[in-house]
A and B are shown apart, each in its own frame.
Chain A
Amino acid sequence: MESGTSIWERMGFRKSSGVAEAGWGHTLVVAGVSFIYFLPVLFIIFTAIKPQALALSVPPTLSPTSLFGLIPDQFVFTPTLENFGSVFSRVMTAGGQPEPTGFDRFFFNSIVIASVSVLLALVLGTLAAYGFSRYPLKGNDTYLFIILTTRMLPAIVVIIPVILMFRAAGLSGSYLGIIMLYTAFNLAFTIWMMKSFFDELSPDVEDAARIDGSSEIKVFLKICLPQVIAGLAATFVFGLILTWNEFLFALLLTGPDTRTVPVAMNQAVSSGGRGTDWTLLAAIETLFLIPVFLVTFFLQEHLLRGVTFGTVRK
């Protein structure tokens, strides 16, 4: 791909005809709404870098910088990284020594469990979706419907039979158990998403590849898959966000060794009887945000790059 052209131009848009850049008025409106969306996250990030004493101060401190004198001094706090340190190691009992909190392990758990289950679901789900799309079974839609039923109920309802199944299978508290569960849940979503992407592709292109001498495997890998990269990236990101933030199943089906961050976060701030440590909570949340934030940010480019226009019209 040639450098110097924007992603929009590569997709076929030209500023002069298709997409004209909006004026400042529209841009400011959208920027304002975006800022409101981002406000809760900003609030948490600022709380994470506040000194603990200022967490609940009145009037609240609003910003780590005075923005060149724009914000009055009583609303400005001095940022600190201390809270991030106490995520991993802090004094647990009055007068005691700092102890490791185990959060390195919990972060590791979250990363492994979420990424393995989402990737596994993506591989299996994409294959299954291709099958559902191209080699329909008798009663194809029935199976698709059944796959989605577990997603139709609130997790709190589904959890009871799932706990019973896990207990019977001896999977409670193991990596295998929670990864299997998340994979199964993500599969439903992945199959539905990817099937719709495959359905959009023109079967003529695949027929052409067959006539040109490609085997079925090659048709799938070399012809179909490159056309749905955008879909793969989108499905991966959505699956990752859902799995990363999942709380209820993790609370009830992980053990001390396999605990994920959302569960550990809850336990870290609500134990000890000293009230909620807001700056600690905010620090955990900020760290927790980073991996998903990075993945989404880097996949954003791919979300658009896979899009192809005009080669085949149905």
Chain B
Amino acid sequence: MSTIEVRKITKKFGEFVAVRDADLSVAAGEVVCLLGPSGCGKTTTLRMIAGLERATAGDVVIAGQRMNDLSPEKRNIAMVFQFYALYPALTVGQNIAMPLHHEGIGTAEIAVRVNKVADILHLSDVLDRLPGQVSEGEKQRVAVARAIVRDPNCFLFDEPLSRLDVELRHSMRGQIKAVLSNLSKATVIVTHDQLEALTMADRIAIMRDGLIEQVGSPHEVFARPANIFVASFIGTPQMNLIEAEFKGYGNGKATVTFDQQDVDLSVNPAVANLRPGRVTVGVRPRAFSVVPEDTADTIDAMAELIEPMGAETLIHARTKTGSDIRVVVPRDKKVKTGEALYLVPDPAQTHIFAEDGKAVRV
């Protein structure tokens, strides 16, 4: 079975800990995205799975076999590198054929296999060219072709789309997803682009400073972020994170104070167990409804900057003491600069994060 299992893996470079106790399992046919800002250890994790870096501690298990001590060529994996890493001195065709030379199959069979993947990825016309003579999009497809020409245990992608322009990225995202769905292999994709992760992954592992902060489906990490970091990292525009004072809980509502206003917010019942103190309230910009009048459960603010985004309008609103709140309203909702806004957050999308940054939730 094509699976990947990473158990309590740690990588230290000298004193610096690049990855700490990362756990991750990828089932056959599943696509898992490692998502995080630069330097969070996601590429290091991928390179440890590939065997290009040695894990300081922990185990890498691929297809049920512990791989820690095996060199990359013995792990039977395929990897697509960020900068494609095509062999500059070999033609496109020879590049794609390279992994097959170690399979012990005949020249005729190699040609058949190369032509087959070249066909899938529309590379048949450029097989005789050198990598320096093909376009950026073609290079990217050659890199993918070289990975799927074999039948490896798993696929690893390191920022596969980062060098393409927006349009090409869009179409390649679809193509890669289509190719992968036909292969039913465990796949790990490293990316810093949340849109890439949300669209391509079955599950997303969000990393920061060498730690995996949350693993879940795209829906889960978006709708139920485990902590402030995940909440702020996923979703555009960014979730509003408002520092507030938690006063108490009653009737399904939490009373919080911020910027000199007391607001009763409908929140998750688990908040009842929270002691009064500092919390962070998280509300997505699209989770507000604008109501006509000021009540106990509204947040009061003033529209300061209006950014039409096409289908929707982004409003930067400011509370009395200056906190910035981003609100997204439908295009037909007309708001003028300077207008007072009374905002009611959607209870299902209102998150309370305790002082340690973790979401308070049942």
Please report A residues at the B interface, Cβ cutoff 8 Å.
12, 202, 204-205, 207-215, 223, 226-227, 308-314
Contact = CB atoms under 8 A, between A and B. Distances in A.
Contact of B83 (A213, A227, A309, A313): A313
Contacts of A212: 73, 98-99, 102, 146
A213 B88 contact: no
Q: Which of A214, A226, A310 has the most CB of B within 10 A?
A: A310
Contact of B85 (A12, A207, A226, A310): A207
B133 A205 contact: no
Contacts of B132: 12, 308-311
Contacts of B84: 311-312
A214 B73 contact: yes
B54 to A, nearest CB: 13
B69 to A, nearest CB: 15
B50 A209 contact: no
Contact of A208 (B81, B89, B103): B81
Contact of B102 (A205, A214, A310, A313): A214
B72 A211 contact: yes
Nearest to B89: A226
Nearest to A219: B73
Interface of B: 47, 50-52, 71-73, 75, 77-79, 81-89, 98-99, 101-103, 130-133, 139, 146
A213 B73 contact: yes
A209 B98 contact: yes
Contact of A209 (B77, B78, B87, B133): B87
Q: In this complex, which of A205, A226, A311, A312 has the most chain B Cβ atoms within 10 angstroms of its Cβ?
A: A311
A314 B47 CA distance: 18
A209 B83 CA distance: 14
Given A210-B72, A211-B77, A308-B89, A204 B101 contact: no
A205 B87 contact: yes
Contacts of B72: 207, 210-211
Contact of B88 (A210, A214, A308): A308
Contact of B73 (A215, A311, A314): A215
Looking at A12, A209, A215, A227, which has the most chain B CB atoms within 10 Å of its CB?
A209
Contacts of B83: 202, 204, 312-314
Nearest to A213: B102
Contacts of A311: 84, 86-88, 130-132, 139
A308 B85 CA distance: 13
A12 B133 contact: yes
A209 B85 CA distance: 9
Nearest to B80: A208
B78 A223 contact: no
A204 B82 contact: yes
A65 to B, nearest CB: 46
Nearest to B142: A311
Given A212-B73, A212-B102, A207 B81 contact: yes
Closest A-B pairs by Cβ, 9 of them: A213-B102, A226-B89, A204-B85, A308-B88, A208-B85, A311-B88, A212-B99, A311-B131, A210-B72
A308 B132 CA distance: 7
19 contacts: A204-B83, A205-B85, A207-B47, A207-B52, A207-B81, A207-B85, A208-B86, A210-B51, A211-B78, A213-B103, A223-B87, A308-B130, A310-B132, A311-B84, A311-B131, A311-B132, A311-B139, A312-B88, A314-B83
Nearest to A210: B72
A211 B53 CA distance: 12
A210 B73 contact: yes
A309 B82 CA distance: 17
A103 B211 CA distance: 74
Contacts of B131: 308, 310-311
Contacts of B50: 207, 211
Contacts of A210: 51-52, 71-73
A213 B99 CA distance: 6
A227 B89 contact: yes
Contacts of B51: 210-211
B196 to A, nearest CB: 20
B319 to A, nearest CB: 46
A32 B82 CA distance: 48
Q: Which of A202, A209, A210 has the most CB of B within 10 A?
A: A210
